[in-house]
């Protein structure tokens, strides 16, 4: 019953938040932006590096006129509870998106190095301007110390520690960053 009530509240909050192109939820919305100039300089430099790596690593992105368009939507929020924000990047392109979802990666910084934390899928919605935007809810509840992520529709993403039969392959990150030490990271599905 509690799960049903939480699900209904999440859906209602999600639907209200879509009016301005962002998700809304009691736990807090992860607001995505495609305006990278609004990001902190170190985050902006990291996002530029991600884009360079994507273009270099994926043969679908070449310097010819037939290359698919690519833009990155970026959300910044502390997900691990360590007062250091993680960077969530949704990859918008025909290479990474279908009709309703886009591939999205979570990254964390430790010292001067950036690490891949997990690979999720965000649900896409049209905002008031007719532009597709990523929608992701960051819940108040935590699972294994990390905030639970919710796509506002059907998928929950939780942090699973190492040794649970899960593993993250660095190749799951299209930008090819190393996996966060001590992972493995975010996976679909949560247990109560």
> Per residue in 10-40, pLDDT tens?
333 333 232 233 333 446 778 888 888 889 9
Q: What percent of the chain has pLDDT over 70?
A: 70
Q: Is the pLDDT of residue 69 over 90?
A: no
85, pLDDT greater than 70: yes
Residue 45, pLDDT > 90, answer yes
Angle at 56 between CA 50 and CA 57, to 5 degrees: 85
Counting the structural domains of the chain, the total is 1
The pLDDT of residue 18 is: 28
Residue 18: DSSP 8-state:
G
The answer, yes or no, to whether residue 6 has pLDDT greater than 70, is no
Q: Which helix (H) or strand (E) holds 42?
A: helix 41-57
Residues, the chain: 192
Q: State how far the Cα of 40 lies from the Cα of 72, in Å rounded to an integer.
A: 16
Q: Between residues 137 and 160, which one has the greater pLDDT?
A: 137
162 confidence band (pLDDT: 50, 70, 90): low
Query: pTM of this prediction?
Result: 0.76
Whole domain around residue 27: which residue ranges? 2-188
Residue of 117, 68, 66 whose CA lies nearest to 89: 117
pLDDT value at 191 more than 80: no
Query: What whole-number distance in Å separates Cα of residue 8 and Cα of residue 15?
Result: 11
pLDDT tens per residue across span 104-154: 899 999 888 999 988 888 877 777 777 777 888 898 888 888 888 887 777
């Amino acid at each position: 019953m509690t799960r049903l009530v939480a699900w209904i509240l999440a859906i209602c909050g999600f639907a209200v938040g879509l009016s301005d192109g962002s998700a809304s939820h009691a736990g807090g919305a992860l607001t995505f932006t495609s305006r990278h100039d609004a990001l902190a300089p170190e985050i902006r430099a990291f996002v530029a590096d991600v884009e360079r790596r994507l273009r270099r690593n994926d043969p679908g992105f070449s310097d010819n006129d037939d290359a698919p368009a690519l833009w990155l939507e970026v959300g910044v929020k502390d997900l691990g509870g360590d007062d250091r924000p993680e960077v969530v990047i949704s990859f918008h392109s025909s290479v990474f998106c279908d009709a309703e979802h886009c591939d999205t990666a979570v990254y964390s910084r430790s010292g001067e190095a950036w690490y891949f934390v997990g690979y999720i899928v965000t649900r896409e919605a049209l905002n008031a301007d007719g532009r597709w935007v990523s929608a992701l809810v960051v819940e108040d509840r935590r699972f294994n110390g990390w905030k639970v992520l919710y796509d506002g529709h059907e998928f929950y993403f939780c942090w699973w520690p190492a040794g649970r039969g899960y593993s993250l392959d660095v190749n799951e990150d299209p930008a090819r960053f190393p996996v966060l030490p001590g992972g493995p990271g975010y996976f679909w599905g949560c247990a109560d």
